[in-house]
């Protein structure tokens, strides 16, 4: 009996580290899963917040009287007419990032936003703020001071810039996916402007020639750092003004959003299927172990029964 007890104790000692190792593995796996999920949750939160900001801007714009909109747009046009076509600073230069909130675009502001830019190809609809201070670029798109305000018009060139590669927000991370002919839209307090991509370039941070006003043209350029995490150059995607046709353009936006939702649902379904496969595989493995253990116990019982029979036979 003492020997049997000793054997049982030894078995329990052997089992404990194995059980501890299993729980350690599960904990590490769960923590790793949470770490992997963190950027996705953050991006989802930013997208919801960004959409809320855009809704706030649209609601605020709807409340403005027609006369007030005309007055503000008149001031914005006067500002654009006063520009001397001199872009002299990189929006990502350190001294530029340290500047506070820009004052030059107050006439267009509704709840601190001067509009929003919608890029169906990469499924982004982002609020636009005046200036390129780091606090602005952390929450949306900044308008580069010294370039035309995003209200359209002959001989204007507005530059809108945002970060790429942030773990917590997509912003312009996928800007490089745009192609010649793609459209994007700028919404301001007065109207929606449509632009068609006609130039995609990578430039040096000190080269501003592509950002200057071209007389007789209406341009908007989207600008971000490239390559991601290195940020040694600037990716620029320029669009020229084209007529905004609500029936056509709104259908394009709807279709692109539907495609994006379908892709999102596909990846969610794929993720759930993978989790289900892992769970079923683990369940099958555990069941196999369980039935193997049962079979082992039966074999032992049979051996004991045979032994006891033999002992009885010997005694007889």
Active-site hit among 116, 143, 187, 225: 225
- In the chain, % of residues over pLDDT 90: 46
Q: What does the alpha-carbon distance between residue 50 and residue 79 come to, in Å, rounded to a whole number?
A: 28
Where does the pLDDT of residue 268 fall: very low under 50, low under 70, confident under 90, or very high at 90 and above?
Answer: confident
Which residues are registered as beta bridge partners of 95? none
The pLDDT of 294-313, averaged and rounded, is 76
Quick check: 43 pLDDT over 50? yes
For position 316, what pLDDT does the model report?
Answer: 60
Mean pLDDT of the 219-225 span: 98
Per the DSSP assignment, residues forming a β-bridge with 187 are 116, 192
Whether residue 163 lies in the annotated active site:
yes
What is the pTM for the complete model shown? 0.72
Rounded CA gap, 149 and 135, in Å? 20
* pLDDT at 313 (0 to 100): 65
Find where tokens 């010294």 sit: 146
How confident is the prediction for the chain on average, in pLDDT? 83
DSSP letter at 210? G
Phi, psi for residue 198 in degrees, rounded to 5: -130, -5
pLDDT tens digits, residue range 224-253? 999 998 999 999 999 999 999 887 767 766
Distance CA 63, CA 131 (A): 25
By three-state DSSP, how is residue 195 classified?
A: strand
Task: Please check whether residue 144 is in contact with residue 87, taking contact to mean a CB–CB distance below 8 angstroms.
Answer: yes
Q: What pLDDT is recorded for position 17?
A: 54
Taking residues 136-152, report their average pLDDT: 94
Vertex 196: Cα angle to 107 and 76 (nearest 5): 15
Per-residue pLDDT band for 184 (boundaries 50, 70, 90) equals: very high
Domain ranges of the chain: 38-244, 249-293
Averaged pLDDT, 61-80? 94
Question: Which tokens belong to 69?
Answer: 């909109």
Residue predicted with more confidence, 78 or 298 = 78
Catalytic: which of 116, 143, 157, 163? 163
Predicted confidence band of residue 86 (pLDDT cuts 50, 70, 90): low
142 and 136 Cβ atoms separated by less than 8 Å: yes
pLDDT tier at 46, thresholds 50, 70, 90? confident
> Could you give the 3-state DSSP secondary structure of residue 147?
coil
pLDDT digits (tens, 9 = 90+) for 155-170: 999 999 999 998 888 9
Q: Using pLDDT thresholds of 50, 70 and 90, give the confidence band for residue 98.
A: very low
Q: How far are the Cα atoms of 4, 108, 131, 193, 263 from residue 150, in angstroms, in the given order? A: 86, 9, 12, 9, 32
With a cut of 80, say whether residue 265 has pLDDT above it.
Answer: no
Q: Judge whether residue 13 has pLDDT over 50.
A: no
Q: What is the Cα–Cα distance from 270 to 248, expressed in whole angstroms?
A: 33
**Concatenated DSSP letters of 11-40:** HHHHHHHHHHHHHHHHHHHHHHHHHHHHHH
Q: How far is residue 43 from each of residues 33, 94, 137, 159, measured CA to CA in Å?
A: 16, 26, 15, 24
Confidence check: pLDDT of 140 > 70: yes
Vertex 6: Cα angle to 3 and 7 (nearest 5): 90
198: tokens are 């006609």
């Amino acid at each position: 009996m003492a020997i049997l007890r000793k054997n049982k104790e030894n078995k329990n000692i052997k089992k404990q580290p194995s059980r501890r190792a299993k729980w350690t593995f599960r904990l590490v796996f769960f923590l790793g899963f949470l770490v992997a999920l963190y950027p996705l949750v953050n991006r989802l939160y930013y997208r919801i917040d960004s959409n809320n900001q855009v809704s706030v801007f649209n609601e605020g714009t709807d409340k403005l009287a027609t006369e007030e909109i005309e007055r503000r747009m008149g001031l914005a046009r006067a500002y654009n007419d006063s520009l001397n076509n001199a872009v002299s600073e990189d929006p990502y230069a350190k001294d530029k990032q340290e500047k506070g909130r820009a004052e030059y675009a107050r006439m267009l502001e509704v709840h601190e936003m001067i509009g929003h830019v919608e890029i169906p190809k990469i499924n982004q609809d982002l609020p636009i703020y005046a200036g390129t201070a780091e606090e602005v670029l952390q929450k949306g798109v900044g308008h580069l001071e010294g370039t035309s305000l995003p209200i359209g018009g002959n001989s204007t060139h507005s530059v809108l810039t945002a970060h790429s590669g942030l773990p917590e927000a997509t912003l312009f991370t996928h800007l490089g996916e745009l192609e010649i002919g793609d459209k994007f839209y700028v919404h301001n307090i007065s109207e929606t402007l449509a632009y068609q991509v006609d130039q995609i370039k990578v430039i040096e941070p000190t080269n501003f020639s592509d950002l200057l006003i071209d007389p007789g043209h209406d341009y908007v350029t989207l600008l971000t750092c490239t390559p991601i995490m290195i940020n040694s150059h600037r990716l620029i995607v320029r669009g020229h003004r084209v007529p905004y046709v609500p029936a056509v353009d709104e259908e394009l936006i709807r279709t692109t959003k539907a495609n994006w939702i379908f892709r999102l649902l596909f990846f969610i379904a794929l993720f759930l299927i993978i989790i289900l496969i892992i769970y079923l595989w683990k369940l099958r493995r555990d069941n196999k172990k369980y039935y193997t253990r049962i079979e082992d116990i039966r074999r032992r019982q049979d051996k004991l029964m045979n032994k006891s029979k033999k002992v009885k036979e010997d005694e007889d």
